[in-house]
Amino acid sequence: TFHHLAQQCSDCGGFYAGRDWTYRGNTLERNLWHHINPSIFSTNVMTIYLDDQLSSVRIADSIFNHTGDVLQLGGGRNNAFVGNIVN
């Protein structure tokens, strides 16, 4: 379970990754993400932020509840977002 993350930052995510080719093939699976929203001190907060051409990440079978922007892709390819529930 991940909750109340990235409360006082900008251009960030509850999960943030990028600029590293060794991250290819990682999986975020069967997680509960909730209450990840910008506060009055932050802007541009994503629940999952794959930045700077990050590729081949699988996000699957997770629940996103009371989150603002669920996914930000900053380029990259072969990313998968499958079997998730977004409320």
How far apart are alpha carbons 49 and 38 in whole angstroms? 14
Give a three-class secondary structure readout of 42-76: CEEEEEEEEECCCCCCEEECCEEEEECEEEEECCC
Tens-binned pLDDT, residue by residue, of the chain (87 aa): 999 988 888 889 999 999 888 889 999 999 999 999 877 777 788 999 999 999 999 999 999 999 989 999 998 999 999 999 999
Query: Is this prediction's pTM over 0.95?
Result: no
